[in-house]
Structure 1
Amino acid sequence: MRAIVLHEPKRISVEDVEDPTPKDGWIRIKVKRVGICGTDKAFYKGTYVPPKLPLIPGHEIAGIVEEAPGMEHLEGMKVTTEINVNCGECWYCKHGMPTHCPYRETIGISIDGGMAEYVLTKPHLLHSVEDLSWEEGAFVEPLAAVVEMLEMSPIKPSDRVAILGIGTIGLLSAQLIRLITPNVVAIAREDSPKRRIAEKFVDVMTLEEAKEYIKKRTPEGQGFDYVVEATGSTKALDIALDLVRPRGIIAAKSTHGSQVSFNYTLMVVKEVKIIGSRCGPFEKAIDLMRSKMIDVKPLVTSTFKLSDGVKAFEKSFERGEIKVQITP
């Protein structure tokens, strides 16, 4: 099969590799659409080194079950797949935290992923996306990660929320949070080419305008109740600390792979909660798209064929790009 293979930072190519063969309870999906995630970009840049190299990246996957030995009833299903292949037996699996299974393999991170014609997964990780488009099916994983953020650190209808970053996670967060509270803004540079898309979903302001907003529209001018940090920048946590009120919440969503320094004392003095989150509930994400409460189609800014995988990665770093997807 053809696949995008990352050999080392900045060295990626489209190659012929051996078809994956499902064994011992695994199944094979024929990939129809896969997204380039911030984690994939960090692998490419070298700021985040995957546990396996060479690696076929890609974990935002939609496709058709092509081969399921002993489970032929699954064949032909239009699906997406969760990415953490857990053991099901350890303490974390038995206590409802399978994504933290210490024995897990992670599709597109520690084992080969979906930037290929085929990918292997386990049947218990499948979710039907029969009534979604391929581009929506490949958005289930990142949208589920935003749902997880709100389940771990809920927002109240009265909360004032700021979102740092207007990439994929920022704009999915904006749409979802807007269903809970009208008091949500996104913060971006005035010259950001993504603003025209972000403004379809939420009010967008500069950092300076956000500070004026805090003075006039938050209790005692002390800051937002909740700040989503989704910039992919190592400097953004300090900005979030400056914007959040005492005893507020910062939801950390960047996976750039780099070390971060921030004003630790300010975090302690303000008694701020910083909460990380990642993989989340797929069925809830599917329901949100199925019910048209979340619209991901405007976020797909470029689509490439698998044969143009190198160009797809290069394109994903352009400032105007939100989500680049690949169609094997």
Structure 2
Amino acid sequence: MRAVVIEEPNKLSVTTVPDPTPGRGEVVVKVTAAGLCGTDVHMLAGEFGPTKYPVIPGHEFSGEIVAVGEGVTAFAEGDKIAADPAIYCGACHFCAIGRGNLCEQWGTIGITVDGAAAEYVKVPAKNCYRLPETVELRHAPLIEPLSTIVRGFDIVDPKLGDHFLIYGAGTMGLLYMQVAQRAGAGSVSVVDINADRLTVAKKLGADHVATSADELESRLGWQVVTDCTGNVKAIEDGLTRPIRGGTFQQFGCAPDQEMAQFSPFRIYNDEIRIVGSMAILHSYGRAVELLGKGVIDSETMITHQFALDEYAEALETFKRGTGRKLQIVPDKAAA
């Protein structure tokens, strides 16, 4: 099969590799589409520590099952699925206390084992979710990023009527915004230096948008401030914005060696809660249901589709901040 392979940091190829075959408890999926995200950029740059090279990227994906391994009874060939990419050991301290996303042997399809930037991908059947009839295969890769948003809301645990400030109107910020609106936010404000992105945020329901939080006014302040950029300057600014007693959530993935400055006195004096949100935990199935109910405007979110041979171009497009969700479509011919 044809696949994208990150051989090592800053070395990418599109080549032919052996077709995957399912082992016990596994299925092979013919990939319909695989989404790109910031993690893929960090992986290629050598900035995401857990990556195991060489690896086929692609952890947001959907497709149709074409082969079923021994012992698989819940799925059959022809089933249309999306899959939680998380792989946990099930035996370490964190798995034992139900925190598999912090697993000591943490793994993910497309990061530590071969993923879906390929014609086919091998997946544990237990990770698969059959798609509702209301969800198109080409929309289903949005389930993975949406599931991380669901996890983020589990951690923040907002109250009805809370006011949100979101840094970043890229894919993750726009998904977060749409969920916040449906979850009963009092208001949702979005900050991004890209004015075109702010236009989309407003279209999708943001109450207020601006290129700087200094331009925004909030009568009560923001109970929840979330960084969806991973940019240190945005993070440092965001840490100054929660109302007293409010919460700052680090949701965006920053390069693993970056450091940010903040005022420890303000954290203490204003009782600011700082929380992280790492990947997926007991949230993928709920994201399937939310996408099926139309919580997300999938058509607006997906803007570009690239062939496998265009993977490098897709990453450059992503880094330029062009569009929203970019997808790799293995069946698509290169332009």
Assess same fold via TM > 0.5.
yes
Hey, what's the Cα distance between the residues in 2 that align with 1:4 and 1:76? 25
Query: 2:147 aligned with 1:139, yes or no?
Result: no
| DSSP-derived class of the 1:194 partner | helix
Partners in 2 of 1:51 and 1:264 — Cα distance?
32
Shift of 1:50: 4.3
Match of 1:150 among 135, 140, 153: 153
| Structure 2 runs not aligned, ≥5 long | 331-335
Deviation at 1:51, TM superposition (A): 3.1
Question: What is residue 309 of structure 2 aligned with on the other side?
Answer: 307
Q: Distance in 1 between matches of 2:212 and 2:50?
A: 37
- Measured after TM superposition, the shift of residue 269 of structure 1 is 3.3
1:38-49 aligned within 5 A:
38-49=38-49
Q: Deviations over 1:208-236 (max 9, x none)?
A: 5655404xx12xxxx31110110121222
* TM-score using structure 1 length: 0.91
Contact 2:30 2:121 in 1 (8 A): yes
| 3-state SS of 1:139 partner | helix
Q: Pick closer, same or farther for the CA change 1:17–1:234 going to 2, 3 Å.
A: same
After TM superposition, give the deviation of residue 204 of structure 1 in Å.
4.0
- Choose 255-264 or 308-317, whichever is displaced more: 255-264
Query: Are 1:160 and 2:163 matched, yes or no?
Result: yes
For 2:159, what is the secondary structure of its paired residue? coil
Count matched residues: 321
What SS is found at the alignment partner of 2:230? coil
Aligned to 1:77: 79
State the percentage of identical aligned residues.
29
1:16 deviates by 0.7
> Letter of the aligned partner of 1:230 in structure 2?
C
User: 1:16 maps to what in 2?
Assistant: 16
Q: Describe the SS at the equivalent of 2:240.
A: helix
Measured in 1, the distance between the counterparts of 2:104 and 2:76 equals 28
- What CA deviation, in whole Å up to 9, does each residue of 1:280-300 have, x standing for no partner? 411211111111122122111
Match of 1:105 in 2: 107
Instruction: Give the direction of change, closer, same or farther, for the CA distance of 1:249–1:165 in structure 2 (3 Å limit).
Output: same
| Matched residue type, 1:20 | P
- Displacement over 6 Å in runs of 4+: none
Q: Are the aligned partners of 2:202 and 2:209 in contact in 1 as well (CA < 8 Å)?
A: no
Gaps of 5+ in 1: none
Determine the C-alpha separation between the residues in 2 that align with 1:127 and 1:49. 28
Whether 1:187 and 2:188 are equivalent positions in the alignment is: no
Aligned mates of 2:298, 2:10 — CA distance in 1: 29
Alpha-carbon shift at residue 49 of structure 1 (Å) = 4.1
Length-normalised TM-score, structure 2: 0.89
Q: Secondary structure, in 3 states, of the residue corresponding to 2:122?
A: strand
Q: Is 78-87 or 168-177 further displaced after alignment?
A: 78-87
The answer on whether the counterparts of 1:33 and 1:326 sit within 8 Å (CA) in structure 2 is yes
Structure 2 match to 1:53: 53
Q: Secondary structure at the match of 2:179?
A: helix
How far residue 158 of structure 1 moved from its aligned partner, in angstroms, is 2.2
In the aligned structure 2, how far is the partner of 1:155 from the partner of 1:144? 17
Map of 1:92 onto structure 2: 94
User: Which position in structure 2 is the counterpart of 1:198?
Assistant: 201
CA distance in 2, matches of 1:24, 1:283: 23
Alpha-carbon shift at residue 106 of structure 1 (Å): 1.4
Residue of structure 2 equivalent to 1:287: 289
Is it true that 1:128 corresponds to 2:130 in the alignment? yes
Residue 276 in structure 1 maps to residue 276 in structure 2? yes
